[in-house]
């Protein structure tokens, strides 16, 4: 693995995951109560034996850089092992990254210093467990110039991904980025191959195509430009991410929208989740602050026979539950006060839920205090006046948001305009 340079793209604005990305880069968003999204990609790298890793950052990277420093300073520099971030260097021009391919192109200066034989290019915001060494071996066996990791998805979801066709030898013969229309399924095949955003390139070939693309007026994107161009002039193969024993696709989730993010988190609270956080053979590394153990205490304010309960949930250290929690994920230091009820929700670090609150199908970001008696997720039309509500009806409350007590009016959301997402608050209903 010493001849491989891993470059993780972590510079996108994450607009589709707004307002969770209001104050942070998307790879720094909390997932599963105790992790950041980037932890899954980096854990895959370490578990796969990769030791030369750079993270290409850009927008609102403060919390991401801090997390990398606190969590991932684990390799030995004397052995030429490292994980560190590279912000835009402006060596090529004065532009920020104009696309995924451009982010790699602008960092060829550093890549030339390392001079790897292969590039492994990854995204920082997908949830999955993958041994990249298997894909690297596949790439070498095929004599490929480039290899794209793919996964089988339902044809009805095809417009969300880059879609490709392969021949009998797994060579990619056609590629279309997020096509709007599909041909009817043939031979009963209801799935298609989707791009996972995991690429292996021979170094010389990638440099050639990046330099050619940089001279063009394009999106400078791997899916829209680089891969389609390479199919015409190079050997590009598909590595199907499936279970060798069952033949079924392995677990992989793109959590680019609030709804997809919520559903992927909810997968974890199932009795037998497909994505196993407790696999000692494939540990997911994270940063743990020094919190005391979680505690569930009898709620003296409850009626007799109605003690505090916590069912089908993930609960992090430092949490105190004095109400009822079901099918929810609590990050560290969350407090649920007397008679409060939390269902099917994600509560991030430091959230406090007041007495007699009712919360359902909500994402509440860090350090939000929910006043006593508030109901969230039960009347979506009323929630839309105060909070952000997704298409599927998930209420999302951003970090440090002030929630006013009942009868005190609506929360102040005008501050979001200054961040440049939109001048129209209706865009976030």
Structural domain spans, the chain: 4-267, 295-428
The CA-atom distances, in angstroms, between 314 and each of 51, 53, 81, 168 are 31, 30, 34, 44
User: Any bridge partners for residue 141, and if so which?
Assistant: none
CATH class of 295-428: mainly beta
Which tens digits make up the pLDDT trace of 48-82? 999 999 999 999 999 999 999 999 999 999 999 99
Cβ atoms of 69 and 101 closer than 8 Å: no
Angle subtended at Cα 279 by Cα 271 and Cα 154, rounded to the nearest 5 degrees: 60
Percent of the chain whose predicted confidence (pLDDT) is above 70:
91
Per-residue pLDDT at 147: 97
Query: How many whole angstroms separate alpha carbon 368 and alpha carbon 351?
Result: 5
Nearest Cα to 40, choosing from 223, 198, 239? Answer: 198
Looking at the domain that runs over 4-267, which CATH code has it been given? 3.90.550.10
Confidence of residue 260 (pLDDT cuts 50, 70, 90): very high
From 272-276, 296-300, 399-403, 407-411, the region with the lowest mean pLDDT: 407-411
Per-residue pLDDT at 289: 87
Is residue 417's pLDDT more than 60? Answer: no
Query: How many whole angstroms separate alpha carbon 202 and alpha carbon 207?
Result: 9
Nearest Cα to 277, choosing from 135, 128, 151, 133? Answer: 128
Confidence of residue 426 (pLDDT cuts 50, 70, 90): very low
The pairing of strands 341-343 and 52-57 is: unpaired
Helix axes 62-71, 38-47, angle to 10 degrees: 30
Per-residue pLDDT at 413: 52
Q: Which parts of 136-226 are beta strand (E)?
A: 146-154, 162-166, 172-177, 191-202
pTM: 0.90
Confidence of residue 420 (pLDDT cuts 50, 70, 90): very low
Find where tokens 């979001």 sit.
416
Which tens digits make up the pLDDT trace of 91-150? 888 788 888 999 999 999 999 999 999 999 999 999 999 999 999 999 999 999 999 999
Find where tokens 């997704």 sit.
390
Query: How many whole angstroms separate alpha carbon 347 and alpha carbon 421?
Result: 24
Higher pLDDT, 104 or 11: 104
Nearest Cα to 298, choosing from 332, 330, 321? Answer: 321
Per-residue pLDDT at 318: 96
Which tens digits make up the pLDDT trace of 172-221? 999 988 887 655 444 456 788 999 999 999 999 999 999 999 999 889 99
173 three-class SS: strand
Is residue 336's pLDDT more than 60? Answer: yes
């Amino acid at each position: 693995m010493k001849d491989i340079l891993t470059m993780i793209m972590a510079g996108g604005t994450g607009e589709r995951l707004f307002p969770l990305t209001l104050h942070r880069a998307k790879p720094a968003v909390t997932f599963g109560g105790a992790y950041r999204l980037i932890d899954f990609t980096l854990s895959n790298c370490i578990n796969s034996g990769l030791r030369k890793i750079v993270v290409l950052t850009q927008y609102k990277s403060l919390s991401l850089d801090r997390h990398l420093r606190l969590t991932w300073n684990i390799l030995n520099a004397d052995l030429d092992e490292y994980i560190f971030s590279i912000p835009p260097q402006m060596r090529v021009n004065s532009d920020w990254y104009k696309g995924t391919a451009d982010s790699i192109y602008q960092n060829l200066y550093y890549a030339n210093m390392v001079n790897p034989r292969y590039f492994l290019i990854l995204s920082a915001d997908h949830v999955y467990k993958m041994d990249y060494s298997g894909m690297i071996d596949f790439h070498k066996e095929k004599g490929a110039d480039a290899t794209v990791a793919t996964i089988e998805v339902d044809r009805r979801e095809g417009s969300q991904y880059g879609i490709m066709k392969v021949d009998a030898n797994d060579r990619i013969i056609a590629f279309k980025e997020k096509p709007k229309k599909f041909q009817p399924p043939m031979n009963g095949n209801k799935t298609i191959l989707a791009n996972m955003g995991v690429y292996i390139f021979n170094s010389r070939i990638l440099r050639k195509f990046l330099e050619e693309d940089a001279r063009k007026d394009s999106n400078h994107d791997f899916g829209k430009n680089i891969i389609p161009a390479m199919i015409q002039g190079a050997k590009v193969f598909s590595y199907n991410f499936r279970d060798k024993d069952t033949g079924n696709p392995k677990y992989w989730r793109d959590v680019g929208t609030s709804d997809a993010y919520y559903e992927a988190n909810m997968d974890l609270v199932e009795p037998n989740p497909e994505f196993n956080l407790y696999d000692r053979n494939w540990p997911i590394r994270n940063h743990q602050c020094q919190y005391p153990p979680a505690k569930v205490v009898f709620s003296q304010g409850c009626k007799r026979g109605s003690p505090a309960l916590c069912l089908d949930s993930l609960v992090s250290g430092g949490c105190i539950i004095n109400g009822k929690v079901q099918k929810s994920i609590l990050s560290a230091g969350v407090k649920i006060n007397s008679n409060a009820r939390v269902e099917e929700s994600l509560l991030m670090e430091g959230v406090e839920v007041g007495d007699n609150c009712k919360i359902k199908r909500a994402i509440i970001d860090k350090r939000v205090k929910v006043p006593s008696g508030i109901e969230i997720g039960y009347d979506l039309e009323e929630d839309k006046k105060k909070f952000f509500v997704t298409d599927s009806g998930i209420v999302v409350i951003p970090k440090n948001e002030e929630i006013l007590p009942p009868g005190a009016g609506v929360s102040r959301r005008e501050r979001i305009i200054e961040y440049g997402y939109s001048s129209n608050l209706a865009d976030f209903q």
